Amino acid sequence: MPDVHTTTDKKTPWRLLALLMAMTAIGPSTLNILVPALPGLTARLHTDPSTVQLTLSLYLMSLATAQLLTGPLSDRFGRRPVVLAGLTLNVLASLAAIAASSIEALIVARILQAAGAATGIVIARAMIRDLFERERAASMLGLVTTAMVVAPMVAPMIGGLLDTAFGWETIFLFIAVFAATVLLWAIPVLPETRPQGAAQTIGKMIDEARALLGSAKFHGYVLCGALGSAPFFTFLGGGPHVVVTLMGRTSAEYGFWFALSSLGYMSGNFTAARLAQRFGLEALILGGIVIELIGACISCALVAALPQAGPAIIFLPQVLLSYGNGLLLPNAIAGAVSVRPKAAGTAAGITGFAQMACGALSTQAVSALLAVTTTAMPMALQMLVIMLATAVAFFVLVRR
């Protein structure tokens, strides 16, 4: 497959973008598709709910940490071989999960699934930076990152249908077929995009990584992306408790409202795709921060004024927060992977890890805060504080 180098061609490569979106979707869809089957797994594998929960938490941990390794490997050996190896690992791990006869074997298979899926997330971002200059890369990332929200929306529905009709094993068969399809698609289509002169020795890799980690601007972009996404994870961790437990609504009603906030995120992504080249990525990062701050302030005000009102008081501001996140995130990623283009894989891996780690911490924090309250105020305040920290990171590190 011939090398492809950075281009300023205005024509959008939809076929390649579709493949990169599919590669990106494997990770989040494989995480969420198993959720409806967790209660049944407890009985089928003769274990307890807390142990079954490890199939999610350890998957997420593996997905995050594997990105730290996958990025540098793609800088060293190329994007194409690393992602093909990752997709192959995901297929094999999915097949191993079907044959698992114990919860321990299933957990190991899930960890390996995540390690393989991480390659799609990291390398899709790195390849976009390889192919396009900075602002165009932000525009393309705005389209590709929609897969990160569409996949978690659709996957639980698919998993529930498969588990109910055929049993939990078919969930992993579906994942294996999905990943194998993407693998067979990628083999003839996916180009090698690593820049000429990229670090191909350990010494050069260390030099590039040192220069990357020494850049204040890189840390600013990473923090903006990670902190700017944290309100979404805060809401993900606290929203069900607020709506179902505190407000007494059904999980179906929560699902309806959550889909509304997801539409906000996708709208932000599409706006970023259209405006990145016109206004520049830093202007859109700032715009996303401002919109998220406004959403967080409205959330605090509504919860304070109408503490016993329905889900609208938290979901309507969340649409603004999600829109701002969709506007901010692809531009922050594009900025991070553009600081040292020859180390784009390493930068993409660090950015992905930071986003997931920050998200996990936010989810745990809001769960602890809501456990000792009867309103949604701790969740609203946490989102506001996080966005204030994002603004500080932007002005201190990115705009200094």
Q: Please report the domains of the chain, with CATH numbers, ordered by start residue.
A: 14-196 (1.20.1250.20), 209-398 (1.20.1250.20)
pTM: 0.84
Q: What is the pLDDT of residue 8?
A: 47
For residue 36, give the DSSP letter. G
Question: Which residue from 329, 351, 331 is spatially nearest to 71, judged by alpha carbons?
Answer: 351
Rounded to whole angstroms, the Cα distance separating 100 from 380 reads 42
Tokens of 364: 């745990």
Rounded to whole angstroms, the Cα distance separating 330 from 18 reads 16
Q: What is the pLDDT of residue 4?
A: 53
Q: What is the pLDDT of residue 169?
A: 92
Q: Which residues contact 343 (CB under 8 A, 6 or more apart)?
A: 75, 198, 199, 205, 208, 209, 211, 212
Cβ pair 142, 276 in contact under 8 A: yes
Rounded to whole angstroms, the Cα distance separating 21 from 124 reads 8
Q: What is the DSSP code string of 69-137?
A: HHHHHHHHH-HHHHHHHHHHHHHHHHHHHHT--SHHHHHHHHHHHHHHHHHHHHHHHHHHHHHB-HHHH
- Give the pLDDT means over successive 10-residue stretches in the chain (400 positions): 50 86 92 82 84 85 91 90 97 95 93 95 92 87 80 81 90 96 96 75 76 92 95 84 84 75 87 88 95 96 87 92 94 92 89 89 85 89 97 92
Rounded to whole angstroms, the Cα distance separating 301 from 125 reads 37
Q: What is the pLDDT of residue 197?
A: 62
For residue 179, give the DSSP letter. H
Q: What is the pLDDT of residue 303?
A: 93
